[in-house]
Amino acid sequence: MRILVIEDEKEVASLVQRALLQESHAVDVAEDGPQGEEMSLAEAYDLIILDLMLPKKNGLAVLKTLRREGLATPVLLLTARDEVSDRVAGLDAGADDYLGKPFAVAELRARVRALLRRQSDNKASLLSAGDLVMDTVSHEVRIGGNHLELTSREYAILEYLLRNKGRLLTKGMIAEHVWDYHFDSDFNLIEVYIRRLRQKIEQAGRQRLIHTVRNSGYVIREPEA
């Protein structure tokens, strides 16, 4: 999934970015309110992590602008403020959850997983197609009971396909949700990753799970009985 972190404290932003990259997410970082607001409205993100205390424009003002513009992307607030009124103000402005600083990385990851499940058609932590099963908590993928070794990018693409099982996903949609801000729209690269996934998944005697819809994109389906 693709996540935007709006945080001016470089150490905190780096910590969050590393934690999310380890979960196979694509992560962009904005360092102040106006930059974060601009990126949020210009790009397609699955989740925004927003600090309240930002330079130039505070997080609450950014959040209000995003919701006023009709952006429905889930927002997780990061706040060092302990006042209940501040948390209430953030939730009332349209935040979906909040996390106080300092925070445990494990809790950050858990809250991110929960918010991503909430907006997905498939809200389970176990995703499957045929005898392929993905555990989004442990990041373990098995097929026919055997462990499937995937790179972080292969994992991210497979998770996106599984969360949208039965739905046609264009190369543009995959690029928007799996790659970060610097991706140069080289759709041939997506074809390479899809081919690698198929080679790993389609073991001897197994039916195809990832299907190509010519000139349109890809869809993952349950195998025919």
pLDDT for position 225 = 63
Map tokens 């952006």 to a residue. 71
What fold is seen in the domain 126-220? Arc Repressor Mutant, subunit A (1.10.10)
pLDDT at 179 over 90: no
Q: What is the mean pLDDT of the chain?
A: 88
Backbone angles phi, psi at 3, to 5 degrees: -130, 140
Task: Answer yes or no: CATH 3.30.70.60 is held by domain 2-119.
Answer: no
pLDDT for position 19 = 94
Distance CA(135)–CA(56), nearest Å, equals 40
pLDDT at 31 over 90: yes
Distance CA(117)–CA(43), nearest Å, equals 20
| Amino acid present at 150 | L
- Of 170 and 80, the structure prediction assigns the larger pLDDT to 170
First to last CA, the chain: 31
Strand pairing class (210-213; 146-147) = unpaired
Q: Say yes or no: do domains 2-119 and 126-220 share a fold.
A: no
Strand pairing class (146-147; 140-143) = antiparallel
Question: pLDDT class for 105, splitting at 50, 70, 90?
Answer: very high
Tell me the domain boundaries of the chain.
2-119, 126-220
Specify the range with the lowest mean pLDDT, choosing from 2-6, 147-151, 179-183. Answer: 179-183
pLDDT for position 121 = 56
pLDDT for position 144 = 83
pTM beyond 0.75: the answer is: no
pLDDT for position 183 = 65
Strand pairing class (132-135; 140-143) = antiparallel
Tens digit of pLDDT for each residue in 123-156? 567 899 988 999 988 889 998 888 899 998 899 9
